[in-house]
Amino acid sequence: MFLPRDEKKQVLPGSFSVFTDRRKTVISSTNPDYPAGSQLPLKDGLFRYKKGERESTIVELEGRCYALGLQVSDGYREYKRGDGYVNDIICMIFVPI
């Protein structure tokens, strides 16, 4: 996963990213506090965007504020686009503020 970097190409301290499903279950994470299989404690509305939609907002997570960027998967070529299979993935990137 890509993380935001500073002008020296160092990962911004405290930033992390996760892939989740719509049930808030973490699939993959760069933060050991949110391992695969854990639940991401964020508001339900962040998991209701349509396929391909993206958003940026400010969230509070575990008492800390983050700038959050997210995007819902839109499928890959033929995969997940026309065969009726639904398994949306949401990518989230957190940057402390």
Check: CB of residue 29 under 8 Å from CB of residue 22: no
C-alpha–C-alpha distance, residues 88 and 76, integer Å: 11
* pLDDT at 78 (0 to 100): 53
Which domains are delineated in the chain?
16-96 (3.30.450.20)
pLDDT tens-digit map of 40-73? 999 999 999 998 899 999 999 999 999 999 999 9
* pLDDT at 6 (0 to 100): 87
Token pair 């930033």 is found at 15
Residue 87 pLDDT level (bands cut at 50, 70, 90): confident
